[in-house]
């Protein structure tokens, strides 16, 4: 499943920490021991489940082939999610967006991703 776009969502606070460190730093990733990523198909549920009510959110897009090897591991409902067991350097991002919350508090995903 390499060579597909993968995405990382970050709160504004997490984004500031990533800018300072040069790589993403989230409490969930630290606790689990890997960087949580999503495919395009998984992104809406990730946004709704983990980022609703968090305000403005940063979305980063990465080419999985340009990252260190990912592990595709089962998560929600057995779906395979991309996990990175190394720091995710923000300089590797192909694109980035600021997402505003919708009326339900869930970040609105851009159509051009």
- Per-residue model confidence as pLDDT tens digits over 11-30: 999 999 999 999 999 999 99
Q: If 0-12 CB within 10 Å is exposed, 13-18 middle and 19+ buried, where does residue 17 land?
A: middle
pLDDT at 113: 87
**Domain positions in the chain:** 5-99
Strands in 5-11's sheet, in edge-to-edge order, are 5-11, 57-63, 95-99
pLDDT at 112: 85
Q: Percentage of the chain surpassing pLDDT 70?
A: 98
Q: Distance of CA 103 to CAs 47, 54, 107, 108, 111, Å?
A: 14, 12, 9, 9, 18
**Full-model pTM:** 0.94
The fold of 5-99 is ADP-ribosylation fold (3.20.170)
- Give the chain's residues under pLDDT 50: none
pLDDT at 26: 96
- Structure tokens belonging to residue 5: 């776009």
């Amino acid at each position: 499943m390499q060579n597909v776009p993968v995405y990382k969502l970050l709160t504004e606070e997490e984004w500031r920490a990533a800018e300072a460190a040069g790589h993403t730093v989230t409490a969930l990733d630290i606790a689990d021991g890997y960087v949580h990523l999503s495919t395009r198909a998984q992104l809406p549920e990730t946004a709704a489940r983990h980022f609703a009510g968090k305000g403005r959110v940063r979305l980063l897009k990465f080419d999985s082939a340009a990252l260190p090897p990912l592990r595709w591991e089962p998560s929600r409902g057995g779906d395979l999610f991309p996990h990175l067991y190394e720091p995710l350097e923000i300089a590797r991002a192909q694109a980035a967006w600021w997402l505003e919350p919708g009326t339900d508090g869930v970040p609105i995903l851009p159509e051009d991703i």
